[in-house]
Each structure stands twice: as C-alpha cells, then as structure tokens.
A = this chain, B = another copy of it.
Amino acid sequence: MYEIYETKERITADNDREAARVRQLLDAKGVFLVNLMSSPGAGKTTTLVRTIKALQGRYRIGVMEADVDSDVDAKTMAALGVRVIQLHTGGSCHMDADMTYRGMERMGMEDLDLVFLENVGNLVCPAEFDVGAQLKVMILSVPEGDDKPLKYPLMFRVSNFLLINKIDAKAVFDFDEERCRSYVRKLNPDMQVFPVSALNGTGFDAWTAELEKRIDAWRNGR
C-alpha cells in the first residue's frame, strides 16, 4: 500500500535553503537519499526494482515516486514490500528540495536507511534543483543516443553516477559507448559510469557495489 501526496511547488521556497534542511533531516535520521534522474522511459523504475532487490537484505529501503500525475510506478514498488509514497508534482517538471522535504516527512523516515527519489522523467529541470540528496544518479539509455551529453550538459555535470542502461539493445542502435564516455569526461571527469541492463541484470553488481561503498562511507563519516 502507498499514499498519494500532492506536493505542489511553492514558488516562495528558496531551494538552496530547503536543500540544507533536507540534508539536516537526513543527517538526523541517518538516511541516505539517492536522487535518480533520467529522460522519460530510460528505465528508472526497472533499474530501481532490480537495485532494491539487490540491496533489500542490507538496508531498510523507502521509495518516493515523483510524477506529474499517475501512480503506476508506486504500484510496482509497493509490490516489492518497501515503503513507498507517490508524490504528485502538480504539473511541475521536477522535484525541488521543499517538495522532497515534505515528501520525506509525509512518508516517515523512521526505520529507513536508504531512500530513492525517482524524479520526474526530464533531463533539463531536475538537474537545476538540488534536493539535498547525498548522491545524484542519472540514467542515459542506449536508444536515446550517445550525443545526449552535448545536448543536456548540466545533468551530466551535476550527477555523480551515470548508468548507461539498455546496454543489451546496443546492437540495435548506433550508440558509441566510447564516444559517450569522452563527452562525459569533458563535462564531469569525476563521474562514475556503469553500463547496465535493467532487463537482464548486466552490470548491476558493479553499480550496486559502488552505491554500497558510498552509503557506507557516508555512514562511517557521520
């Protein structure tokens, strides 16, 4: 079961100040928040399902599903037995820190170690709004093309991890992974890149291992 919560954007909110509040809350509760971003249809939900299954034994996991409308993803997540809240952005094309804060309060952070925020499918606006997460993960899927770093540079600059998803479909599409990586290096030399297939699990060991490292490093540093 899950609740649907209408988190409309408050124009008055100062995003940087609200992001600091989110960080304080995460710190106080000992919760690691991952902001997951991508285009529509790049595979955020399928990636999350597989990631949660891999980490469910180690962490107590919650998911905040942000959508303009609908709750199809929340249904999928609820079936995994994790705590889920569906956030409706009321037309807004991204989550901001204030909406994230209210979503977390509403969901309840007690008894959770790890929360995934599945952001609205969009490569532009979510990149502009720090929600206070400890880790920003973006997905680029093979069918979208290897030139996307050129067109949506900010998303590639601000994210820590890049999952290149649908790598199983590489043969069907004209996607040059090395070219993509070289564009990414120019924008963000620190970005860690993981070719994965959320469909068949390729690359998930590598990505979830690095995610665990980040979570554990943060916990040990608190």
* A binding-site residues for B, Cβ under 8 Å: 39-42, 67-70, 72, 91, 93, 120-125, 128, 141, 143-145, 147-148, 150-154, 166, 169, 172-173
Q: Is the CB of B40 within 8 A of A151?
A: yes
Q: How far is the CA of A93 from the CA of B40 in the complex (A)?
A: 14
Q: Is the CB of A151 within 8 A of B67?
A: yes
Contacts A143-B41, A143-B143 known; A93 to B166 CB distance under 8 Å?
no
Assembly of this chain: how many copies?
2
Cβ of A141: which chain B residues have Cβ within 8 Å of it?
41, 143
Q: Is the CB of A122 within 8 A of B120?
A: no
- Chain B proximity of A175: nearest CB distance (Å): 10
Give me the 9 closest cross-chain CB pairs, A-B, nearest first.
A41-B144, A93-B124, A143-B143, A70-B150, A39-B40, A39-B39, A41-B145, A40-B123, A93-B125
Q: Is the CB of B147 within 8 A of A72?
A: yes
Prevailing SS type, chain A contact patch: loop
Q: Is the CB of B148 within 8 A of A41?
A: yes
Contacts A40-B39, A143-B143 known; A121 to B151 CB distance under 8 Å?
yes
Identify 9 new A-B residue pairs, CB closer than 8 A, beyond the known A72-B151, A141-B143: A39-B121, A39-B144, A68-B154, A69-B150, A70-B151, A121-B152, A143-B169, A169-B172, A172-B172
Cβ of A154: which chain B residues have Cβ within 8 Å of it?
68, 91
- Chain B proximity of A13: nearest CB distance (Å): 18
Q: Which B-chain residue is minimally distant from A41 (CB atoms)?
A: B144
Q: Which B-chain residue is minimally distant from A124 (CB atoms)?
A: B93
Q: How far is the CA of A57 from the CA of B69 in the complex (A)?
A: 43
Q: Is the CB of B68 within 8 A of A152?
A: yes
- Chain B proximity of A108: nearest CB distance (Å): 25
